[in-house]
Amino acid sequence: MAGRLLLAPFVCLLAQAAGCAAVQVSVVTHRKIDNCVEVKAGTTRLVVVPAWAGRISVLDFGAGNVLWSDPKLDGRLVKPAEGWAPWDGNATDILRSDGKSQWKGLWIHPWPKVRRLPDGVEVESEVSPETQLSARRTYRLSPDGTRLSYSFTITCHGGTAAGWTIWERALLPPDGYVVAPIAREGAFPEGWKLREGASVEPADRVTRLGDFLVLRAGTVKGTGLAARLRAGWAAHVVGNHALLDVFPLSKDGRYPHQGGAQAFFWVDKDKLELEPLSSEAVLSPGQSLTFTELWHWLELPAGVEPSDPEAAGRWLDGRAAGLIP
């Protein structure tokens, strides 16, 4: 503790030197839930809800929430001992090597540990009795408000060593389309495949244009897809703006789920889901796995028509190349 106190003035000086003084962090009541954390930078506003496992409720770059919101969740909490619950915003799961997830508390359950940062917030869970893991979410907003750094970390506290994968989700409004760079290889000759024998209706909700997968909302029934990627990014294009999600892609890492999928997507009538995966890590007590995403808010340049997903994909491919963590 003493070390933390001694470091505090130095951390503040570093934050000011980096421009973090432009980032404002405060505690607010949001969606009928107290003790939410609001982070502002310029016209950008981020709201994190510790009572919902530290998930994002609002990410607004100045033109409205870029994440899907379910009003039925307002004021709702789930007790730590209860299992799965509905979600909106961003949601995370973890998977063992056998594909099973047995950790209660990752959905809209309260996480008790909250630490305000000069440019964001960190929220941490208790140790899960089912998995002997704890989880931590760290959010940092750039001073100009155009970039959010989001990390999810799991730490092993006991038990035998086991392989784990972090499975992230960003739930997106149904407007526009999602585009991602697919790799046509191995078990994925088209770069993607339907999960669990599902079908897409109508079929034009999922298309391939060149080396890009393009997804649009509006299916009769929600459908999941698994994909191999040639670069670590995916984007939601709405109008002449794009929410670009950049994440690490391990060429040598093990992706044990659905035949080697590095990302999943969900197409529904009222939302889209962008779901990147970490590569698997075998964790022994004291070891951690962190998966970091960088969410960028970009304006498409003149000459790149939003109505041309392949052209937008090529431009985003170039932008993502210099941003992958």
Cβ burial of 260 (10 Å; 0-12, 13-18, 19+) is middle
> CA-based diameter of the chain, in Å?
61
Element (H, E) at 12: helix 2-17
- The whole-model pTM stands at 0.91
Within-domain flag for 6: no
- CA gap 67, 51 in Å, rounded: 18
Within-domain flag for 2: no
Within-domain flag for 189: yes
Residue 158 pLDDT: 95
Within-domain flag for 148: yes
- CA gap 265, 275 in Å, rounded: 6
Neighbours of 60 (CB within 10 A): 17
Within-domain flag for 145: yes
DSSP code at position 196 = G
Token pair, residue 325, equals 């963590």
For the chain, the domain total comes to 1
Q: Which residues of the chain have pLDDT under 50?
A: 1-19
- CB-based contacts of 131, cutoff 8 Å, min separation 6: 94, 102, 103, 159
Residue 6 pLDDT: 34
Within-domain flag for 17: no
Residue 199 pLDDT: 81
β-pairing, 44-49 with 90-96? Answer: unpaired
Within-domain flag for 54: yes
CATH number for the domain including 32? Answer: 2.70.98.10
Contact (Cβ atoms closer than 8 angstroms) between residue 276 and residue 232? yes
- CA gap 30, 60 in Å, rounded: 14
DSSP code at position 313 = H
Identify the domain containing residue 144 by its residue range: 24-321
Token pair, residue 245, equals 């999600």
Sheet holding 147-156, edge to edge: 113-117, 120-124, 133-141, 147-156, 288-299, 241-246, 233-238, 177-181, 212-215, 206-209
Residue 190 pLDDT: 93
Within-domain flag for 241: yes
Residue 195 pLDDT: 75
Residue 14 pLDDT: 39
